[in-house]
Amino acid sequence: MSMIQDIIRLPNGLLGVAAEHYQGLSHIHKFGAVPSMSNNNSGTIWDVNDTNYPWSAFASASTVTLDRASASDADKVVTVQGLDANYHVISENITLATPTGNASTQSFIRVYRAFMHDDSAANVGNISIKVSTTVVAQITANKSQTLMSVFTIPAGHTGYLIKGTATCQDGADATGDMFVRYFGQNAFRVGHSFEFCGDGGQYLYEFGVPLRIPEKSDIDVRASVRSNNARVTAAFDLLLETN
């Protein structure tokens, strides 16, 4: 932990992490946006309105399937990133050959990001990534990448949360909660709570002492909105240290 603190305090310490100058240290930036959270409703800050992220869909590792809403996205390639049955990082490129049911060959216990492959153009319609019939990620039309403020610490790593931020559209306000489900526990519990509003600008918190999150633990940033149909965003930065 002392090495993490020393690196953060160095003028160019975090730049060195990004440049991979430190063995066993890496960085992940997670960011999400919910298009339109309804008044007095709550949910995860991701591409689906008014919905908590469906963690229960990952009772066991399984293949995922991709559906495309637009014929214009036929044969485009999507990269899906997540964790395998042992919570190790995996990635797979999946071609949208048919409107529904384009399946992965690998099994995922978590999906935390998907994006249009380098060789593919932006998606014209929504692309849904599913476990069975449950949507676990969505690439919204013309975004080319998921916007989901969820993450799971990979096996063999410890996460150190160093910064979090959130915004909502002008005239709206909300309560935010970063929930953490520590591995081996059943319940998500609040690890950080905050208030933010559009008129007040960006909410930003830098952890004086990074919040330590052990391997295989789940992070889920949620919002409860007090004004109607508010677009809400959230992002957080983690340092990942190899155990």
- With beta carbons less than 8 A apart as the criterion, state whether 139 and 204 touch: no
Q: What is the mean pLDDT of the chain?
A: 92
CA dist., res. 162 & res. 67, Å (int): 35
Going along the chain from its start, the domains and CATH numbers come out as: 2-52+149-242 (2.60.120.680), 55-139 (no CATH)
Tokens representing 18 are 């990004």
Helix/strand/coil (H, E, C) string of the chain? CHHHHHHHHCCCHHHHHHCCCCCCEEEEEEEEEEEEECCCEEEECCCCCCCCCCHHHHCCCECCEEEECCHHHCCCEEEEEEECCCCCEEEEEEECCCCCCEECCCCECEEEEEEECCCCCCCCCCEEEEECCEEEEEECCCCCECCCCEEECCCCEEEEEEEEEEEECCCCEEEEEEEEECCCCCCCEEEEEEEEECCCCCEEEEEEEEEEECCCCEEEEEEEECCCCEEEEEEEEEEEEEC
pTM of the predicted protein model:
0.91
Q: Which of 46, 127, 37 is nearest to 79 (CA)?
A: 127
Q: What is the pLDDT of residues 176-207, one digit of tens each?
A: 999 999 999 999 999 999 999 888 789 999 99
SS3 (DSSP) at 243: coil
Per-residue pLDDT averaged across 166-183, rounded? 93
Q: What is the pLDDT of residues 33-58, one digit of tens each?
A: 999 999 888 999 999 999 999 999 99
Q: What is the pLDDT of residues 51-88, one digit of tens each?
A: 999 999 999 999 999 999 999 999 999 999 999 999 99
Query: What amino acid is encoded at 135 in this protein?
Result: V
Per-residue pLDDT averaged across 161-171, rounded? 92
